[in-house]
Amino acid sequence: MTTKIAVIGFGNIAKAIITPLFEKKLLNPKDVYCLVNTKKSLENIKKNYKYNINILQANSKDSEIVWDCQVKLLSVKPQQLKNIIEINKKNQRNLLVSILAGVSLENLIKKFPNHKCVRVVTNIPITIGKGLTGIAWGEEITRVQKLFIKRLFENSSKIYEFPEYLLDIFLALTSSGPAIIALIIEALSDGGLSGGLQKQLSEELVIEMILGTVSLIKDTNVSTAELKNLVTSPGGTTISALRVLENKSLRSALIEAIVSATNRSKEFS
Ligand X SMILES: NC(=O)c1ccc[n+]([C@@H]2O[C@H](COP(=O)([O-])OP(=O)(O)OC[C@H]3O[C@@H](n4cnc5c(N)ncnc54)[C@H](OP(=O)(O)O)[C@@H]3O)[C@@H](O)[C@H]2O)c1
What is the binding site for ligand X (CB under 6 A)?
A: 8-14, 35-38, 41, 58, 75-78, 80, 83-84, 99-101, 122-124, 175
State the minimum distance, in angstroms, from the CB of residue 241 to ligand X: 32
Name the residue nearer to ligand X (CB basis): 125 or 192. Answer: 125
State the minimum distance, in angstroms, from the CB of residue 178 to ligand X: 8
CB atoms near residue 177 (< 10 Å): 18
State the minimum distance, in angstroms, from the CB of residue 260 to ligand X: 18
CB 66 within 8 A of CB 140: no
Name the residue nearer to ligand X (CB basis): 133 or 145. Answer: 133
Name the residue nearer to ligand X (CB basis): 56 or 206. Answer: 56
Of 122, 144, 123, 148, give the one whose Cα is nearest residue 135. 122
Q: What is the Cα–Cα distance from 17 to 127, expressed in whole angstroms?
A: 8
Name the residue nearer to ligand X (CB basis): 3 or 80. Answer: 80
- Between the CA of residue 11 and those of 34, 42, 77, 143, what are the distances in Å? 10, 11, 9, 29
State the minimum distance, in angstroms, from the CB of residue 13 to ligand X: 4
Residue nearest to ligand X (CB): 11
State the minimum distance, in angstroms, from the CB of residue 244 to ligand X: 32
State the minimum distance, in angstroms, from the CB of residue 183 to ligand X: 15
Name the residue nearer to ligand X (CB basis): 51 or 242. Answer: 51
Name the residue nearer to ligand X (CB basis): 6 or 202. Answer: 6
DSSP calls for 153-222:
HHTTEEEEE--GGGHHHHHHHHTSHHHHHHHHHHHHHHHHHHTT--HHHHHHHHHHHHHHHHHHHHHH--
94-98/71-74 β-pairing = parallel
115-121/71-74 β-pairing = unpaired
